[in-house]
Amino acid sequence: MCRYVAGVFQETEECIGVNDTVINDLAGRLGKLLLDHKLFLVTAESCTGGGLAEIITRIPGSSNWFERGFVTYSNSAKQELLGVSSGILDQLGAVSKETAVAMAEGALANSHAQISVAITGIAGPDGGSEDKPVGTVCFAWLREGSDPVVTQTVFRGDRAQIRQQACLMAIQGLLDIIESGK
């Protein structure tokens, strides 16, 4: 199973092509934890195009713990909806840890949620470079009153598999943060 441990994504072959039952189980577990901790979640997505919000809202009763989702595919959307600075985008690009943090901060600031996750990356098949190959995805998780947890990884697979792995990692990171009390 895909696992995010101590800031490092432990990728295995099992991460690629995970079935809907596993995904729904993780999302349901997330919902229960959010409810138990009286937290609302907000998402800020780029390369996943709202896929994480879709997974979350498969769960009956998700309106009791999912506050909203931002799909900010373009740089202008990141700036307008989440307040990501043009300086970050111009200097570091849309696919950077700094952009992910700014997205997570903007999502919290523009919602009523207490915890956020941001995903920005290159799902392919085009758009990669030597420094940021296809499959590069940056994540930031932020809980009110805490420092962000940030990571970057490179997933393998096709566009759909990369996006799915990114959603799984986002959920796993949320589970880990809530369970650890960070």
**Cβ-proximal residues to 8 (8 Å cutoff; 6+ apart), any chain:** 151
Q: Which domain holds residue 99?
A: 3-180
54: domain CATH number is 3.90.950.20
Which residues 6+ apart lie within 8 Å of 35 measured at CB? 64, 65
pTM here is 0.92
pLDDT at 6 over 50: no
Which comes out higher in pLDDT, residue 8 or 15?
15
User: What 3-state class would DSSP assign to 89?
Assistant: helix
Rounded Cα distance, 98 and 150, in Å: 9
pLDDT of residue 1: 43
Q: Give the total number of structural domains in the chain.
A: 1
